[in-house]
A and B are shown apart, each in its own frame.
Chain A
Amino acid sequence: MKSTARIGGLLLVALLAFGVVFATAQVGQQGRGLFPHEKHSNVFPLCSTCHAGVTEPGQSIWPDPVRCQSCHDGVIKPKVTWQPRTGPRPGNRRFTHQAHDVAATRRNIADSALIRNCSACHVQGGAQRMAVRNAVVTQCLGCHGLKAPHFDVPSQACGQCHVRLTEAPGLTREQIARFPRPSSHDDPGFKLGGHGKLARVVSGSREVGVAASCATCHARNLCLSCHVNATESPVISALALDDRSPVFAGTQPIPASHASAGFLRHHGRDAERGTASCATCHARESCMTCHVGSTPRAIAALPAAGPGRARGAQLTRSPPRTHTFDFRERHGAEANARPRSCETCHTRPACLECHRPDAGRQSGYHPQNFVTRHPSAAYSREANCSDCHNRAQFCQSCHQQSGLVAAGRIGTAGYHDAFRGFTLGHGQAARQNLESCASCHAERDCTACHSAVGGGFRFNPHGPGFNAARMKSKNPSLCIACHGRTIPDSR
């Protein structure tokens, strides 16, 4: 008894399940409006019975629902609730049977019967007459001599069958997002430059419009999401705006040229020649991330960022590869030879901060505690101190405050006490590090012995390479200081 009840229960569940699946399938078919042509193959020997409008202008292309009810009256056959479609035409096909007939006949009179041969377009080759479907695209392409797959046909061919996306109001945002992707879009160079070349329609050397292949699936909204100069581009402007068009959600690819070793140096020169390609991705503000100094002409020619424009490439200011860890010590040579290169990213105050430092500033150039470190760097002039510091104002005044300058007769105090014979043997140190001497000593400390006048001991201070005649010709007062008015003719 129990087992009978169990079997009965299972059957009931199975029936219910079958019913649900069947009903869903029916509702689905009705919902999608797909008429089961094959089921009616014996009922309708002629397509024109239902689709008279195809061949007869003024007639509807759809059958009258009342005629369906002659069988589907709920007695003979179940009732159907089908109604012919109203509202905008779905899809983006440009095609109408009448227009196609006129065009085909005009081209080849032999094709005048084509309009009555529905299977030629609506039945896959080899299938039964009523195995109809929407136009079999391969057959459309075949008749039109297009051998490539549907989505890879030449650009102009798209417009032959399809209207622009913006002219296809029946398409929903979701349908557009599901558009298949042509294989051209997978080319490595498509994102960069490649798509632009395909999109351009030119007349002579002028860009006059956009390719039909782009306009079939895209609106300007897509271009606006990347192209900073979209509004200036005649190609992009040829597309209309349409909010149903998806925007570009990927990352903007960086052109290979931007990774080349000389790009940083050459990009300005290239931009001077023309900013059209730069403006694709860069707004003026993008360049000014780095170019904080004077604005080059090429940057001024770029569109300014603002509403209605893509944000463009957002750059992060970072030092170029040349600015290695010790560039601070070596930048002088580069700056002297190529000042314009520096002026690109640096303004004058940035140079002045170090080259004319103020007293309250913590040095950005020298390492921590440089006051204690400086003797070893200063003696041998690891860098030229005079690039930033006046020897008298900086070295002498600080040494004076510290009591390090020579205050009396040389040789009395004994500052150089680690070298007992320094007074006698100072010549080498002096010629090697004369700037260090001059940071504590005035010239009179030296002329006390090295002068030929005023009680000097006439010790000759002139060393290798001294050109007395030249210096005398340039500034004899220099000679007079030690030799008086009687300047010797030569060394």
Chain B
Amino acid sequence: MRRSPILIFALVLLSDGALAQSYRARIDARGQSAWFRGLTADSILASEVVTGANGGFETPDGRGVRCGAGDYCYFFNTGPALRAFPVATSASVTMWGFGVEGLSFRASGRVVTDLGSEDVWPGTEPSAQLIEGLFEYQRSAITARVGRQLLSSRLEAIGFDGGWLKYRLNRASLELTGYGGWGLGEAAVVAPQSPVLNPLDEFRPRDRQIVAGAEAAWLYRDVDVRAEYRREIDPEDDYFVSERAALSMAANVRIIRLNAGLDYNIAEGRLGNADVTATYLRSRFSLAAGARRYRPYFSLWTLWGAFSPVPYNAVNVSAQIRPTKWLTVNGRGETYKYQDAEVSTALVPQLEDGGWRTRLGATANLRSRWTLDGSYGIEHGPGAAARSFDASVSFSPSGKIVLDAYAGALSRPLELRYYDATSRWIGGRAQWQRSDQLRLWSDVAIVSDDRDRPDGNATSLSQVRARAGVSVTFGSGADRTPLPPARPTLR
């Protein structure tokens, strides 16, 4: 079963010359090395525990412990170093010219593995992953897709194996879309019942859910309005896995751009996420102000939704000013507050129920070859806070070579655990766009990372991280590569 995506992908790649007149393909290979150190749950006999200098219980070597009524006290010990070296080769191919006008084939997939000492890096299973593989037929008002596809939507992007059809009624400025098929896991390229999506052995369905949805969009002049409905059904018992609807809107009112949207969880009878943003755009500056509401979404085959997660409401503002042709200054701030969780525990204090975050930055383009960038951010909220500074210098001696140097510092305390992180890093990156078809890059960073605790469990994750990659584009019309990583430029 796991081989089928590989076979489809291989067939597609091998048969392109025989079937399609034209094709374009891109292959990326990249890898990175990193290591991290976690925690190991440990215990000690209650009789061996000592009282520390701050009055709490500790192991004799100074590690804080938690004691209950039993014979043992428990603590987290510093775990072993885990070395990871994930390597991935991804390919995307587009083919057309099958003899049927408007018919094309698209596929994206990858082969990935972890060459490190243990298989520790997330997302390296299964080793062959088909992200998309579909035939598309585009003719006048109709666009149809069949195969594995990813559907972008306000209701979160969802992958499924099935069909998708869009019909445009240009006279009425309408677009009608319908789709259906067998769904993939949330933000995954494998089915939801796959073991790789269940490391903690949670409740999972036995069968892939059936996804069906519809969308209607009204695109009139400067206003786009889009309404969506999606349901997921467990075929085993025909129960709902989810049922949601969403509304999105974008409008241009003179020089103000307005974006708004919301989603509604029909299955739970609750409003989900919502946001509205107004952006005022001028050539020398822009100002955006918005409000948003975030509520996590859980499928009905998990129990999490029954625990009634509460949303937070936030207001935010961001601005970008270009006082001179070469300098851009920007800033962003957001404050948020959770709705009342309606939890009453008189004996314990209240936790943080709101927070804020802000970041100020500046970018300078000097003589079109040099770009200096710096930003400073502070955030404070439930669970964690952070203060960070980032700086980078980019030098592009020619359009083909880009050299970057970057550095930064971070201080990050946690609310619920003694594990304050202080991190500093410095690194460099080189990119060589050898031709329109070939790009190579590498990146090396030295990271000094200390985790502080008041007991003897303080640790360090200092390390050297290295990454490298190559991107190759070829085909019958391989005259352009996708955009290289975005860089701030003068406009």
Contacts and interface: CB of A to CB of B under 8 A. Distances in A.
A5 B379 CA distance: 101
Contacts of A424: 345, 347-348
Contacts of B348: 419, 421-422, 424-425
A400 B248 contact: no
Contact of A362 (B30, B41, B270, B306): B30
B87 interface: yes
Interface string A380-399: 11101011111111101111
> Quick one: which of A294, A434, A435 has the most chain B CB within 10 A?
A434
Contacts of B39: 402-404, 415
> Quick one: which of B240, B307, B443 has the most chain A CB within 10 A?
B307
Interface of A: 261-262, 265, 288, 292, 294, 317-319, 321-322, 324-326, 330, 332-340, 345-352, 355-362, 364, 367-369, 371-373, 375-382, 384, 386-394, 396-405, 407-408, 411-419, 421-422, 424-425, 427-436, 438, 441-444, 446-447, 450, 461-467, 470-471, 474-479, 481-482
A476 B224 CA distance: 38
Given A324-B330, A433-B382, A443-B203, A357 B410 contact: no
A433 B75 CA distance: 24
B201 to A, nearest CB: 6
A435 B384 contact: no
Interface in B454-491: 461, 467, 469, 480, 482-483, 485-486, 488-489, 491
A429 B243 contact: no
Interface in B53-92: 64-66, 68, 74-76, 79, 82, 86-88, 90, 92
B133 to A, nearest CB: 12
A375 B308 contact: no
A321 B489 CA distance: 11
Given A372-B410, A413-B74, A324 B286 contact: yes
The 6 closest A-B CB pairs, nearest first, are: A402-B38, A379-B383, A414-B66, A463-B308, A425-B348, A360-B88
Contacts of A463: 307-308, 310, 341-343
Given A380-B336, A467-B269, A369 B417 contact: no
A336 B261 contact: yes
22 contacts: A324-B279, A324-B320, A326-B330, A333-B248, A349-B92, A355-B152, A358-B129, A368-B408, A369-B408, A376-B412, A382-B379, A384-B273, A390-B187, A392-B198, A394-B123, A407-B41, A418-B416, A422-B348, A428-B350, A443-B304, A464-B340, A474-B268
A411 B88 contact: no
Contacts of B326: none
B300 interface: yes
B433 to A, nearest CB: 14
A431 B306 contact: no
B328 to A, nearest CB: 7
Contact of A369 (B37, B75, B124, B425): B425
B349 interface: yes
Contacts of B307: 430-431, 434, 446, 450, 461-463
Nearest to B134: A348
B200 A396 contact: yes
B196 A393 contact: yes
Given A330-B290, A372-B421, A379-B383, 17 more contacts: A326-B288, A330-B259, A356-B159, A361-B32, A368-B427, A378-B383, A380-B381, A380-B382, A381-B296, A392-B202, A415-B39, A417-B64, A425-B348, A431-B307, A462-B308, A467-B269, A475-B301
Nearest to B65: A414
Given A358-B88, A393-B123, A393-B188, A324 B288 contact: yes
Nearest to B486: A319
Interface in B177-195: 185-189
A387 B300 contact: no
A332 B152 CA distance: 9
A416 B416 contact: yes
Contacts of B82: 401-402
Given A324-B286, A381-B296, A359 B416 contact: no
Nearest to B40: A403
Contacts of B76: 403, 413-415
Nearest to B91: A349
A481 B122 CA distance: 29
Given A414-B76, A475-B239, A428 B343 contact: yes
Contacts of A475: 234, 239-241, 267, 300-301
A340 B79 CA distance: 49
Contacts of B390: 367-368
> Quick one: which of A348, A430, A462 has the most chain B CB within 10 A?
A348
B291 to A, nearest CB: 12
A374 to B, nearest CB: 9
Contacts of A476: 239
Contacts of A403: 38-41, 76, 79
Contacts of A415: 39, 76, 417
Contacts of A336: 152-154, 226, 246, 248, 261
A340 B250 CA distance: 12
Given A386-B187, A396-B200, A431 B308 contact: yes
Nearest to B363: A325
Contacts of A325: 318, 320, 328, 330, 332, 361, 363, 488
Given A474-B267, A481-B303, A443 B318 contact: no
Given A336-B154, A337-B224, A379 B381 contact: yes
A430 B305 CA distance: 12
B68 A412 contact: yes
B383 to A, nearest CB: 3
A350 to B, nearest CB: 6
Interface string B215-226: 000010010111
Contact of A391 (B138, B186, B351): B186
Contacts of A334: 250, 259
Nearest to A325: B330
Contact of B351 (A345, A390, A400, A419): A419
> Quick one: which of B255, B261, B288, B304 has the most chain A CB within 10 A?
B304
A397 B199 contact: yes
Interface string B139-165: 000000000001011101101000000
A317 B486 CA distance: 11
Nearest to A477: B239
Interface string B27-38: 001111010111
A351 B36 CA distance: 29
Nearest to B190: A393
A471 B268 contact: yes
B202 A482 contact: no
B176 interface: no
Interface string B392-424: 000000000000001010101011111001010
A333 B294 CA distance: 13
B342 A337 contact: no
A126 B422 CA distance: 99
